[in-house]
Structure 1
Amino acid sequence: MSLTAATGKIQTAAAALLALGMTVTVGTALGFQHIGGYIPCKLCLEQRLPYYIGIPVMVLALVSALFRGPAIVTRGLLLAGALLMTWSLYLGIFHAGVEWAWWPGPTDCGVVAPAPSGGSLLDQLDAVIPPSCDQAAGRFLGLSFAGWNVVASLALAAIAYVAAFRKA
């Protein structure tokens, strides 16, 4: 299937589903951070980047599909979303592998310079030590947050690839 082939309901529904799915996924991570009190490590924060980029890309894909924009634009945006979720999949696998000690993580993960003495608010913020990347904050049904990101990224990438290349 070509990226220039006409688009239809499949691409429109996929763009909407992907925008919603990406929003729910990163929103859940933000909820665990701000409501649940889980402090994300460096790799956790990196895993959010494809979602922060992907959500507006999928909204643009949805707008293009709804207003019957050029097929190459709609399909190209869906393909961009698929590639972003593939990047997210890689980041999730890498982080999960670090947590399971299959390979080493970044040397600067969880390392914080000593906070200067004093009682200012900025000094107190500097005293917060982020968690190490090799320690899962928690496991739910056997998977860490990174593991669940792998599941979500795989599903979202598959939907995006199918929508980008499937006949309308």
Structure 2
Amino acid sequence: MTNLTDASDRLAQRLALAVPAALLAGAYISQYGFDLFPCEMCWWQRYPHFAAVGLALLSFAAPPKKLWIALAALAILASGLIGAFHAGVEYGWWRGITGCATTGDAMSLDVIRCDIAPWSFLGISLAGWNALLSIGSAITIWVLLIAKEKRV
């Protein structure tokens, strides 16, 4: 059962690698190509994606493959949940938990603000897009992994 012979398992494996890799690529392109430098909470969203890429790569080499894919999806979900929290801070729904989301005098000039979205598309910030794409992808990966078991 460690081989991924089912098409849905293979698709889940590829999504578990492609989604965090694409989202990280987008983050770095926005950072280095468009000068949208990450705040502290942006970095928090990247770390689980790095873990997801590693876990997804591991699924290509080591059994049990489905376990590594499911764990990669969990890491993707973690990034999405952090993104949802960060988006809420940007939209003013709640307060942030870091110094980059304050306006006090103690804030240094070189801190990138967490509570101001530097860019949005369709009214959704980068953190919001990460939340939507990551949470949706994690759920899709898990559904694909269990799809074969439901047919049996």
TM-score, normalised to structure 1's length?
0.77
Are the aligned partners of 2:77 and 2:134 in contact in 1 as well (CA < 8 Å)? yes
Are the aligned partners of 1:41 and 1:130 in contact in 2 as well (CA < 8 Å)? yes
**Residue 134 of structure 1 pairs with residue 101 of structure 2:** no
Greater RCO structure (CA 8 Å; 6+ sep): 1
Q: Which has the greater radius of gyration?
A: 1
Equivalent position SS for 1:167: helix
Cα distance between partner residues in 1 of 2:141 and 2:122: 26
Pick the aligned partner of 1:17 from 15, 18, 22: 15
Structure with the higher helix share, 1 or 2: 2
For 1:18-167, list aligned pairs within 5 A: 18-64=16-62, 69=63, 73-109=64-100, 129-167=110-148
In structure 2, the gaps of 5 or more residues are none
Q: How many pairs were matched up?
A: 145
Quote the offset at 1:77 in angstroms.
0.8
Quote the offset at 1:110 in angstroms.
5.9
Cα distance between partner residues in 2 of 1:113 and 1:5: 51
Structure 1 residues 6, 59: closer, same or farther in 2, change over 3 A? closer
Q: Deviations over 1:62-116 (max 9, x none)?
A: 334xxxx4xxx111111101211221121011001101111100241267776xx
In structure 1, the gaps of 5 or more residues are 115-127
Instruction: Provide the aligned C-alpha RMSD in A.
Output: 2.2
Once the two structures are aligned, what percentage of the paired residues are identical? 28
TM-score, normalised to structure 2's length?
0.84
